[in-house]
Amino acid sequence: MPNENVFVLKWSRRTLLERDGRLLTPELHDDLWPEGHTYVRRLYRTKWLQFRLNDKEDDIEIIRPKGPLSQKGYESGEAFCSLGPGYFQNHAMTPPVPEDASCTTWMACDTFDSAPGDKYIHGTITPVAFTWNTETGLYEWTRTGSIHSIEGQMIGEASISRFGDSWIVAARCYKTSASTAWYRSDDLFAGLGEPVIIEKGRRWQCPRHSYKCANGQLRIFLNNREWSPYFDRRNPLYAVDVDPVTFEYTERQVVCDARIEGFPFDAPCLDMSKLCPNQGNRQLIHFRLVDRFMTSVEDFEGSDEARADMMAKAGIHYAEIVYEGDIPDPWDFGA
């Protein structure tokens, strides 16, 4: 394939305030920011680079240096995409998905705006397309959809999956409902359509990520305090089957339980799930496993030894999904 051996790496750029030896975030320390949230949101952007495996296959070669992610034609100026000036961008929490078997156009759903004065980097979502340029040998951000919002809500951290001719999008809702908004659309750039809201309640304040798994099943990976036998906010981490038409939740399985596994955390957090392409009938799911104090403004009140032990055991962990029978290869590249 012309685009074989070309990889894209994306990451978020955010602003931090250094004070008294601490790095403070705008979400958790909003009263300490002298220039307000408008300044912080404007600087929240996505950066990227592109690379390939070198000819000796012993190292990677950077073929597009790191820089701000901008839509083609908007590489300079205040507006970095067709939405116009004044927006920030937070990239999706799951990888882009190919539009078809050629893998030359990839779709994602990013966060681009938030309510005025709100301290969080969430609010609205927008489809984006990345396309392979045969002349440059690089991927480009080529298309941006329209802003999608839900009245009275903030949404973000969207996931995207392909089912036949349709796209399934799941977005995390904030504020009081803390639910998931599900969408089904045959044309993302014509609009996402009306959301189906699932998990209404206040026990779902956690990141959640949906994927079309290797066996074709749509699943969402998330937490729920009411499911937890310990009433933990983000433990255990669950995998839940989702109907791609009605979005009904059915079978629920535990991916990892930090307390059963013996992690020394007072308030374990298992989230930010990343599903890898399968190898045969096996598929890895990576997730963050930390204690709550590591992601909040609250200071740890235990001993230095206990803190050191918790920090040493925190990090990125994985579980293995094993399917029955033969599972198709994840990539056929149009063969």
Q: pTM for this structure?
A: 0.91
What are the φ and ψ backbone dihedral angles of 186, each rounded to 5 degrees?
-85, -20
Q: What is the pLDDT of residues 125-174, one digit of tens each?
A: 999 999 999 999 999 999 999 999 988 888 999 999 999 999 999 999 88
What are the φ and ψ backbone dihedral angles of 189, each rounded to 5 degrees?
-85, -5
Q: What is the pLDDT of residues 175-212, one digit of tens each?
A: 766 789 999 999 999 999 999 988 766 667 789 999 99
Residues 6+ apart with CB under 8 A from 15: 26, 39, 40, 43, 44
pLDDT at 20: 79
**Which one-letter amino acid corresponds to residue 53?**
L
pLDDT at 17: 77
pLDDT at 13: 86
pLDDT at 244: 96
pLDDT at 176: 61
SS3 category, 272? strand
**Share in percent of the chain as helix, strand, coil (round to 5):** 10, 40, 50
Query: Is the separation of the CB atoms in 330 and 214 below 8 Å?
Result: yes
Low-confidence ranges of the chain (pLDDT < 50): none
What are the φ and ψ backbone dihedral angles of 113, each rounded to 5 degrees?
-160, 160
Structure tokens at 105: 């156009």
